[in-house]
Amino acid sequence: MIERLFPCAYAESAFSIDYAKLYERGYRGIIFDVDNTLVAHGADSTPRVDAFLESVRESGFSIVLLSDNDTQRLERFTAENGLPYIPDANKPNPAGFEEAAKLLGLEKTQVVCVGDQVFTDILGANRAGIDSILVKYIGYYERGWKGKRRAAESMVLAIWRITRKRHRLHDIEIEGMAAT
Ligand SMILES: [Mg+2]
């Protein structure tokens, strides 16, 4: 059961993933979470983030943004980068992840989801049968229930590391991305 919360890999940040290597492994599409994955919660994109997204596209990937946030927020975020997006995704509902793969026009096995939350991004991707990479969240320490959820996430990750039950991205461990 807890395996449903395990990502395929862990990376320090969405910006540090070796996308060329993912391409080599057969992936062609990336589903990016937005808040706390690409920018701090609610923040607009920046020239640096847009340049990064463009570089991922230049590596051969199609990109779609999948967010629990609303249309208005995503419209603002995509003002410059023009990326397609799915708002109000209600993660971990797998429907949004499946819709994202369809929007990319790819098989689910060709798609990888990059997000900062175990209970939404990773669980949803696993439910949809899509590989996932967990990244460290951007932004300030969140208090209250979200802070508690972060503590629960840390426990899940600790178990994941101990059991080493992670399934690897297309069965090949990607250097620098494994949580060890
Ligand atoms: Mg997020």
pLDDT tens digits, 155-177: 888 888 777 655 566 555 544 45
What confidence tens digit (pLDDT) does each residue in 6-43 have?
A: 998 888 899 999 999 999 999 999 999 999 999 999 99
Backbone CA torsion sign across 67, 77, 11, 129: positive
153 compared with 19, residue with greater pLDDT:
19
- Fold for domain 2-171? Rossmann fold (3.40.50)
Domain boundaries defined on the chain? 2-171
* C-alpha closest to that of 176 among 144, 121, 133: 133
What is the share, in percent, of the chain residues with pLDDT greater than 90? 68
Calculate how far, in angstroms, residue 175's C-alpha sits from the geometric centre of ligand 1: 24
The rounded Å distance from CA 59 to ligand 1 centre is 23
Q: What are phi and psi of 63, to 5 degrees?
A: -125, 140
Asked which of 6-20, 54-68, 115-129 is least confident by mean pLDDT, the reply is: 6-20
CA of 136 to the centre of ligand 1 (A): 10
Q: How far is the CA of 138 from the centre of ligand 1 (A)?
A: 9
